[in-house]
A = this chain, B = another copy of it.
Amino acid sequence: MALKDIQNDVEKWTSQWKPQYWQPHEILARLTEEVGELAREVNHIWGPKKKKSTEETNELSQEMADVLFTICCLANSQKIDLDTAWKKMIQKYEERDKNRYEKK
């Protein structure tokens, strides 16, 4: 699936609700909530309680998809093309981070 496709999935899915997109601060709060759920999974799998299992890695990937979904909501609501943003960022990383970490 392309970034455009997942943005389209979100556009289509949200088109049934009213309003289609929440306000930016509301979407951000939802993002904070989703990242919090991802954090809980990380602690479950690699944290002090360490009860790793296939089921939990599955949960982890679902929390990551939820974060993606929320990012797409914010992007769509602001007519931001993530594809363009991604290419710009990769280019920026290549210039800015060139000598940042230890090379192999």
Point out residues on A near B: beta carbons under 8 Å.
1-3, 5-6, 9, 13, 16-19, 22-26, 28-40, 42-43, 45-49, 57, 60-62, 64-69, 71, 74-75, 78, 80-90, 92-94, 101-104
> Which listed residue, B17, B61, B66, B69, touches A101 by the CB 8 Å rule?
B17
This chain's copy number in the assembly: 4
Cβ of A33 and Cβ of B32 under 8 Å apart? no
> Which listed residue, B3, B22, B24, B104, touches A16 by the CB 8 Å rule?
B104
Cβ of A32 and Cβ of B25 under 8 Å apart? no
Known contacts A17-B102, A18-B102, A25-B46; 6 additional CB pairs below 8 A are: A3-B3, A13-B94, A17-B104, A67-B67, A68-B68, A68-B71
Cβ of A82 and Cβ of B68 under 8 Å apart? yes
Cβ of A25 and Cβ of B25 under 8 Å apart? yes
> Which listed residue, B32, B74, B82, touches A28 by the CB 8 Å rule?
B32
> Which listed residue, B25, B33, B83, touches A26 by the CB 8 Å rule?
B25
